[in-house]
Chains A and B, each alone.
Chain A
Amino acid sequence: MALENFCNFHDILEDQVTTDRSAVFQTKKTLHTYSSDLALGKSRSLFHFYIPVSEYLDESPIQFGQISAIQSAAVSSEEPCSASSCLPYSLPFASSQSVPPPFPMSHGTTTLAFIFQGGVLAAADTRSSCSGLVACPASQKVLPIHSHLVGTTSGTSADCALWKRILARELRLYQLRHGRRLSTGGAAKLLSHMLHPFKGTELCVAATLCGWDGEERNDGRHDHQKKEMDFSSCEKTSEICEEEKFVSPTSEQRLVSEKPSCSGPSLVYVCSDGTRLKGTLFSVGSGSPYAYSILDQEVHWGLTVNKAVSVAREAVYRATHRDAYSGNCVDVFHVTSKGWTRRNREDLKEEYYREKERQKQEGRGRKQKQEATLSVKT
């Protein structure tokens, strides 16, 4: 399966599945046809991707219950041998959705990413919440996809983890087939189109893809412990330029920012509702308004790496301070032409105590200064 061509995939998939006539696969097969029909009906000129998740559509919440009724009618007319037209079981509503969020943002997290002269910086908190309690204080929300691409995740943890893995697989396949890495914009478009069939369902993925496109040096050192992606040296950045131009001829490239559209750092926000935005600064999640307040003030192109890291940490820290759904630690990733590097995870509790100390000191210092200036003036 891994070696099949994208374009012929739909046909080959049908053939593959018809050969497996076991009862277990029957319902899955019908779901396959359903999802591919759904994809077909809406996207005649878009790629058809094999979405493994479609096999698990019967485990999604109630909305799919409605669709299975329509589909079972279609099924019974097509295949008389298909046994039961109803799905084996359907799980109840995901419990995390029962508590309404306090304001429109429903992604309980703070993630941010921005571009500056030293590359791309991505940061996120580490709290996973569920129905108002902290399910995991040490989750990882910034996931590396390949050596030069990192994605921040927000939304449903399981959905994000799954779709990141799917994206990593598709990017690797692209690289093997075409001999060069897909650009960040291309990866974002791929992810966006893969998520499109699930629009209107409970799937919730809001990711920012932070990557470095274009020229790579093969001697890039990688500080990560996960599986390394081997890739041949990327030759023609002009090809990537062509692809970018064809993909978006109208000017998302004519941005106010001064980025060359072909190579260099790149940042794209992708959301499961279909939004896909290329930009220089994004923050996603329930804590994003607080993070934006810091970022909008401090971030500019000329930041040094250390200053940028401290701004990112500060932004996450402020967001976790005020937002109930963000907290615990902060992860910071930095992507350059040599790949991504990761800072050690830091507990923001320490930061909070340090700041309290600093405020005490400053308070004392300021009082003394005020008294001094007053005496000077008068």
Chain B
Amino acid sequence: MEYLVGIQGPDFVLVAADNVAASSIIQMKHDYDKMFKLSEKILLLCVGEAGDTVQFAEYIQKNVQLYKMRNGYELSPAAAANFTRKNLADYLRSRTPYHVNLLLAGYDETDGPGLYYMDYLSSLAKAPFAAHGYGLNKRFILNLPSFTVRVIDKEGIHDLENLTLGAK
């Protein structure tokens, strides 16, 4: 059970992801980071099937960095989101589809903050707030112990304090 959430503000985007890396019912890691830094102001949050998440996210990450190396400037969040969606769509009808759910959060100089929701069927939606999974703590049968929180604004990506929600 994994959880991602993002909220777009007037001049920032706030994102959080849980920290659990699980293998069936066992938590293998309690401090696993599900956010991938695509560029100075773009974060990709990725959950889904075990190997697919890291493979796909790293693939996107390296390609975005390659774009910057080739062209001298970075992809905008909108462009990165559409590039990601196109890749998901291309693989969807191949023999090896990627089963990943994504949130892409970024800050663009001209457009401001942006949050994009993508899922494994390669749908893409720009939304003011979005989530994947269940983050409820009071009503859900499983509790996720801790969350990484980051905020993106015109300065870049900042880490905020980890949320550790103890049992109430």
Residue ranges of A at the interface with B (Cβ–Cβ < 8 Å)? 38, 41-43, 45-46, 104-105, 192, 196, 199-200, 249-252, 254-256, 269, 271, 273-277, 279, 282, 288-289, 292
What B residues does A43 contact at CB under 8 A? 55, 59
Decide: A255 and B52 in contact? CB cutoff 8 A.
no
What A residues does B37 contact at CB under 8 A? 249-250
What A residues does B21 contact at CB under 8 A? 275, 277
Contact (A274, B26) CB under 8 Å given A45-B63, A250-B33, A250-B37: no
Question: Bound complex: CA of A289 vs CA of B22, how far in Å?
Answer: 13
Decide: B28 and A277 in contact? CB cutoff 8 A.
yes
Decide: A252 and B33 in contact? CB cutoff 8 A.
yes
Q: Can you list 16 A-B contacts (CB < 8 A)?
A: A38-B96, A42-B96, A43-B55, A104-B24, A105-B24, A192-B51, A249-B37, A250-B36, A256-B31, A271-B23, A273-B50, A273-B51, A274-B49, A275-B21, A275-B23, A275-B50
- Does B68 make an interface contact (CB < 8 A)? no
Decide: B63 and A250 in contact? CB cutoff 8 A.
no
Decide: B29 and A279 in contact? CB cutoff 8 A.
yes
Question: Bound complex: CA of A274 vs CA of B49, how far in Å?
Answer: 9
B97 to chain A, nearest CB (A): 10
What B residues does A271 contact at CB under 8 A? 23, 50-51
Decide: B36 and A274 in contact? CB cutoff 8 A.
no
Decide: A289 and B26 in contact? CB cutoff 8 A.
yes
Decide: A45 and B24 in contact? CB cutoff 8 A.
no
What B residues does A269 contact at CB under 8 A? 28
Contact (A274, B31) CB under 8 Å given A41-B94, A45-B63, A289-B26: no
Decide: B50 and A274 in contact? CB cutoff 8 A.
yes
What B residues does A274 contact at CB under 8 A? 49-52, 54-55
**Taking chain B's interface residues, is the majority helix, strand, or loop, or is none over half, making it mixed?**
mixed
The total number of A-B Cβ pairs within 8 Å is: 68
What B residues does A252 contact at CB under 8 A? 32-33
- Does B62 make an interface contact (CB < 8 A)? yes
Decide: A41 and B26 in contact? CB cutoff 8 A.
no
Decide: B55 and A277 in contact? CB cutoff 8 A.
no
Select which of B28, B51, B52 is within 8 A of A282 by beta carbon. B28
When each residue 90-101 of chain B gets 1 if its CB lies under 8 Å from chain A and 0 otherwise, what string results?
010011100000
B34 to chain A, nearest CB (A): 9
Select which of A38, A104, A192, A199 is within 8 A of B25 by beta carbon. A104
A110 to chain B, nearest CB (A): 13
| Cβ-closest chain B residue relative to A252 | B33
When each residue 37-71 of chain B gets 1 if its CB lies under 8 Å from chain A and 0 otherwise, what string results?
10000000000011110110001011100000000
Question: Bound complex: CA of A275 vs CA of B50, how far in Å?
Answer: 5
- Does B75 make an interface contact (CB < 8 A)? no
- Does B102 make an interface contact (CB < 8 A)? no
What B residues does A289 contact at CB under 8 A? 26
Decide: A255 and B50 in contact? CB cutoff 8 A.
no
Decide: A42 and B91 in contact? CB cutoff 8 A.
yes
A122 to chain B, nearest CB (A): 16
Question: Bound complex: CA of A105 vs CA of B28, how far in Å?
Answer: 13
A211 to chain B, nearest CB (A): 18
Question: Bound complex: CA of A46 vs CA of B61, how far in Å?
Answer: 13
- Beyond the given A104-B24, A249-B61, A276-B54, could you list 8 further A-B residue pairs with CB under 8 A, ordered by the A residue number? A38-B95, A43-B55, A45-B59, A196-B51, A256-B31, A271-B23, A276-B51, A282-B28
What A residues does B49 contact at CB under 8 A? 273-274
- Does B144 make an interface contact (CB < 8 A)? no
Question: Bound complex: CA of A292 vs CA of B28, how far in Å?
Answer: 10
Task: Specify which of B36, B62, B94, B96 lies most central, judged by the most chain A CB atoms within 10 Å of its CB.
Answer: B96
